[in-house]
């Protein structure tokens, strides 16, 4: 077994300096980290929670061009997003797949006059109801943006009868449906981890530390605190990058450089265990305008229906939570689109919420705040402080490159290689057809049955390595084909596991799919205890903390009183 992630913290502490410190291990900090590591730059990333546990864990799981942003005139962003989406379908096919998306449409003309006014005169206010003609114009433009890198089919319109034949549970009041393709990212936290791992593997002087917080500025670097040991230490650097997303202003304040760059809004989702609703979607994302003009979605994912999202002003110093009013809103929108599918609150197995890292804006309509990003350099205090403002999931690679270019200039280092087209983690040589998948499973994880398939979905082609570890040890199932003891050992060795919640919320989809029981938590915790040297007190603390987090942040109630020892016996 290799050392725990805390040994890497000690190594960084003992070295005491690096070229670049990146604060924030969401997807954008991680993307910049990988890019800089690949250029041979010494870089340390510090993340105060787990990697990809902030806004990056709260997305709608879409890798999308952002058809909606056309309406706001953000053509540059749409062009970049579509290109990145198409690239990710090739570089990360293990986690990014084409997503068939259908828009139910209730009128022909509505919104057509208002929309050009918005483009041309910058008209503000509530988005107009989007009728078929406007959606047709938008989708045609969207298709044209795809250009020669097209990896997905052109959009298609259907009349009422044909639409209802395809999706018979749709609201019969529809006049048309429009169907186009974007991409789905079904395991964002795992994709982020793959990008991070690629960065670490590429450069011996690239280190990434989770549960380490940047707490202040020293004049020639930052102070950081290891949130596991409580130890604080200084880390000198030539450049500090603030990639803390919605918390960018709070971080700059902690570094003694107050800014007012950010104006993030909260968005929530619910996940429902309702097979009828999942079936009603016909396996597609249903993407539509709700009565308040917001674009919302119902999205079949992992055998569940994910429903989102809201767009509400938020204070990043408070935890983002999905409220009961938001749940009402979601149940209402489901009823609008699939009026005869019965849905109840009891079927919600998971809720999640996050703050979008949007720029400060005086825009009265949150949906119209720019989704584009920018990089701000402040060289007034000795070493440069580089702040990232904005940035979606979809554009992480190009954003990482842009941010890295600014840093390379500041440290006087050349760009050695580009990340464009570079396979990500287990996306390398990933079998994308059913036949290729069968061949891969038979040749690389022979005799593994459905367990091999689960591993291939979770790790991409790195599953072959995981399987060898399981075969070489006395591996015992913890949850059927979905989890086993030596898989946890592998995660401890390779995936920066510090807390029990890392496993259930971000390394697996157990929490997302509503598969966590109190007994399962106990079993995972006691297995992790062996590999991470936790004593009974630490193990029980981990279980209690995870139960609290599942309840408070995700609306999941587990039996907290169950005696851990008794449950395990
Ligand atoms: C509801 C919602 C839906 C979305 N849907 C989509 C979508 O479908 N597609 C898409 O492309 N984008 C989507 N986005 C946008 C996307 O998720 C975010 O823009 C992106 O994840 C931001 O990543 P980031 O790395 O900049 O920020 P974050 O992921 O928030 O990372 C910042 C990190 O900084 C850490 N941090 C803060 N302070 C400190 C400190 N002092 N020291 C150390 N670490 C610190 C935080 O813990 C956090 O992990 C959505 C966002 C939301 C909220």
The pLDDT, as a whole number, for residue 124 is 45
Give the mutation target among 22, 23, 24 for probing the ligand 1 site: most ligand atoms within 8 A of CB. Answer: 24
User: ∠157-158-160 over CA atoms, to 5°?
Assistant: 140
The Å distance, Cα 187 to ligand 1 centre, comes to: 15
Check whether the bond before 309 is cis (ω within 30° of 0).
yes
**Using one digit for the tens of pLDDT, what is the confidence trace for 78-123?**
888 889 999 999 999 999 999 999 999 887 665 544 544 454 334 4
- 164 three-class SS: helix
Q: Label residue 354 exposed, middle or buried (CB < 10 Å: 0-12, 13-18, 19+).
A: buried
The pLDDT, as a whole number, for residue 277 is 98
CATH ID of 6-56+189-260+372-411, from 3.40.50.1000, 3.50.50.60, 2.40.100.10, 2.40.40.20: 3.50.50.60
Give the mutation target among 25, 55, 329 for probing the ligand 1 site: most ligand atoms within 8 A of CB. Answer: 55
The Å distance, Cα 480 to ligand 1 centre, comes to: 33
Report the nearest atom of ligand 1 relative to the CA of 62. 8
DSSP string, 335-373: HHHSTTS---GGGEEEEEEEE--PBP---SSGGGS----
59 Cβ closer than 6 Å to some ligand 1 atom: yes
Domain ranges in the chain? 6-56+189-260+372-411, 65-185, 265-355, 427-568
Per-residue pLDDT of the chain (569 residues; tens, 9 = 90+): 444 678 899 999 999 999 999 999 999 999 999 999 999 999 999 999 999 999 999 999 999 877 777 767 778 888 888 899 999 999 999 999 999 999 998 876 655 445 444 543 344 444 456 777 777 777 777 777 776 666 677 888 999 999 999 999 999 999 999 999 989 999 999 999 999 999 999 999 999 999 999 999 999 999 999 999 999 999 999 999 999 999 999 999 999 999 999 998 999 999 999 999 999 999 999 998 888 888 899 999 999 999 999 999 999 999 999 999 999 999 999 999 999 999 999 999 999 999 999 999 877 666 666 678 999 999 998 899 999 999 999 999 999 999 999 999 999 999 999 999 999 999 999 999 999 999 999 999 999 999 999 999 999 999 999 999 999 999 999 999 999 999 999 999 999 999 999 999 999 999 999 999 999 999 999 999 999 999 999 999 999 999 999 999 999 999 766 554 444 44
354 Cβ closer than 6 Å to some ligand 1 atom: yes
Q: Spelled out in words, what is the top-level CATH class assigned to the domain 265-355? A: alpha beta
Q: How far apart are the first and last CA of the chain?
A: 27
Give the mutation target among 29, 44, 59, 208 for probing the ligand 1 site: most ligand atoms within 8 A of CB. Answer: 59
The pLDDT, as a whole number, for residue 59 is 97
Q: What is the pTM of this model?
A: 0.94
Nearest CA to ligand 1 atom 14: 59
19 Cβ closer than 6 Å to some ligand 1 atom: no
The pLDDT, as a whole number, for residue 126 is 47
86 Cβ closer than 6 Å to some ligand 1 atom: no
Q: How far is CA 251 from the centre of its chain?
A: 21
What lies within 8 Å, CB to CB, of 415 at 6+ separation is 39, 404, 405, 408
Q: Report the candidate in 127, 100, 99, 98 with the shortest Cα–Cα distance to residue 115.
A: 127
Report the nearest atom of ligand 1 relative to the CA of 27. 25
Which CATH homologous superfamily contains domain 427-568? Alpha-glycerophosphate oxidase, cap domain (1.10.8.870)
**Using one digit for the tens of pLDDT, what is the confidence trace for 46-57?**
999 999 999 999
């Amino acid at each position: 077994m290799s050392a725990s992630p805390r040994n890497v913290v000690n190594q960084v502490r003992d070295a005491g300096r690096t070229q670049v410190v990146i604060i924030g291990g969401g997807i954008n900090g991680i993307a910049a980290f990988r890019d800089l590591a690949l250029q041979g730059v010494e870089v340390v990333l510090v993340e105060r929670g787990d990697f990809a546990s902030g806004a990056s864990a709260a997305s709608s799981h879409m890798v999308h061009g952002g058809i909606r942003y056309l309406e706001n005139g953000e053509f540059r962003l749409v062009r970049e997003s579509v290109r990145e989406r198409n690239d990710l379908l090739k570089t990360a096919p293990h986690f990014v797949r084409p997503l068939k998306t259908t828009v139910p449409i209730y009128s022909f003309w509505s919104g057509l006059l208002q929309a050009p006014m918005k483009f041309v005169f910058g008209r503000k206010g509530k988005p107009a109801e989007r009728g078929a003609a406007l959606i047709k114009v938008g989708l045609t433009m969207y298709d044209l943006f795809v250009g020669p890198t097209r990896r997905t089919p052109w959009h298609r319109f259907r009349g009422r009868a044909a639409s209802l034949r395809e999706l018979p549970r749709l609201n019969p009041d529809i006049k048309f449906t429009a169907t186009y393709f974007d991409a789905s990212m079904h395991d964002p936290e795992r994709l982020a981890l793959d990008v991070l791992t690629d960065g670490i593997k590429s450069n011996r002087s690239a280190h990434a530390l989770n549960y380490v917080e940047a707490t202040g500025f020293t004049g020639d670097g930052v102070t950081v605190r290891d949130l596991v040991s409580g130890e604080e230490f200084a880390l000198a650097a030539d450049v500090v990058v603030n990639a803390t997303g919605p918390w960018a202003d709070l971080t700059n304040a902690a570094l003694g450089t107050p800014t007012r760059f950010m104006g993030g809004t909260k968005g929530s989702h619910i996940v429902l265990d309702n097979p009828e609703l999942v079936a009603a979607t016909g396996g597609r994302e249903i993407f539509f305008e709700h009565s308040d003009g917001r674009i919302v979605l119902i999205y079949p994912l992992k055998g569940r229906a994910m429903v989102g999202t809201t767009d509400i002003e938020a204070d990043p110093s408070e935890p983002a939570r999905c409220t009961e009013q938001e749940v009402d809103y979601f149940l209402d929108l489901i009823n609008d689109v699939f009026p005869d599918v019965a849905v109840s609150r009891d079927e919600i197995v998971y809720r999640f919420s996050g703050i979008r890292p949007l720029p400060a804006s005086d825009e009265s309509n949150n949906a119209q705040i720019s989704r584009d990003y920018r990089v701000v350099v402040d060289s007034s205090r000795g070493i440069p402080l580089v702040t990232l403002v904005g940035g979606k999931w979809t554009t992480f690679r190009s954003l990482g490159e842009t941010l890295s270019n600014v840093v390379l200039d500041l440290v006087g280092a050349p760009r050695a290689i580009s990340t464009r087209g570079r396979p990500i983690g287990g996306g390398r040589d990933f079998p994308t057809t059913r036949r290729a998948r069968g061949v891969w499973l038979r040749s690389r994880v022979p005799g593994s049955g459905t367990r091999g398939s689960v591993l291939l979905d979770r790790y991409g082609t790195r599953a072959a390595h995981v399987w060898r570890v399981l075969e070489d040890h006395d591996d015992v199932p913890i949850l059927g084909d979905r989890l086993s003891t030596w898989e946890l050992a592998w995660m401890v060795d390779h995936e920066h596991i510090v807390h029990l919640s890392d496993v259930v919320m971000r390394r697996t989809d157990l929490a997302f799919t509503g598969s966590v029981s109190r007994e399962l938590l106990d079993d995972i915790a006691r297995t992790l205890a062996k590999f991470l040297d936790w004593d009974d007190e630490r193990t029980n603390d981990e279980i209690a903390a995870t139960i609290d987090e599942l309840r408070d942040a995700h609306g999941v109630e587990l039996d907290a009183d169950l005696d851990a020892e008794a449950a395990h016996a």
